[in-house]
Structure 1
Amino acid sequence: MTIALLRSVLGWSALLNLLLVVVWFSLFLGFHDRMYAWHRRWFRLSGETFDAIHYAGMAWYKIATWLLFILPYVALRISA
């Protein structure tokens, strides 16, 4: 695998992962009550707990995207 190919894969992976977070956030805002009712069938969650779980999940996903895709991409752009 060449550096150019690795850089391309990291860049596209970062974009796709950030797009997934945007879709997740949009669905969370648009269908919050339906999502909460759906999850409430399986788990006993308060509304605050449900919101906290989703926001924490989005935060961790964004952090992982930065650490695993964006920062290595930037490092390869600088070094190569």
Structure 2
Amino acid sequence: MMTLSQLCEFLGWASLINIVYLLLATIVIAGLGGKIALIHSKLFKINDFDLNEKYFDFLSSYKIMTLVFFVAPYLALKIMDQ
């Protein structure tokens, strides 16, 4: 059985890992968007407009999931621990 402290530590590290991944994905899509979009558009046969929309959907969904399932519970446990 996990203690409250262990769960809080787990959620803290999971939050950090997910936030770093989200930032990295955002930087890669923003910085190398043209090269990556060319590969993805050929691979999946999607035009540039739809591909940009799918990138935005991915980043926004990932951000919401990270906030709901990792950051919010971590903050709630931190508040409870005080």
Structure 1, unaligned runs of 5 or more = none
Q: TM-score, normalised by structure 1?
A: 0.92
| In 2, Cα distance between equivalents of 1:55 and 1:62 | 11
Question: Could you say which structure has the greater relative contact order, defined with CA pairs below 8 angstroms and 6 or more residues apart?
Answer: 1
| In 2, Cα distance between equivalents of 1:19 and 1:77 | 20
**Equivalent residues, number:** 80
| In 1, Cα distance between equivalents of 2:75 and 2:31 | 33
Question: SS in structure 2 opposite 1:45?
Answer: coil
Residue 30 of structure 1 deviates from its aligned partner by 1.4
Runs of 4+ in 1 over 6 A off after TM superposition: none
Structure 2, unaligned runs of 5 or more = none
Q: Which residue of 2 aligns with 1:30?
A: 31
Amino acid at match of 1:71: A
Residue 74 of structure 1 deviates from its aligned partner by 1.1
Superposition RMSD on alpha carbons, in Å? 1.0
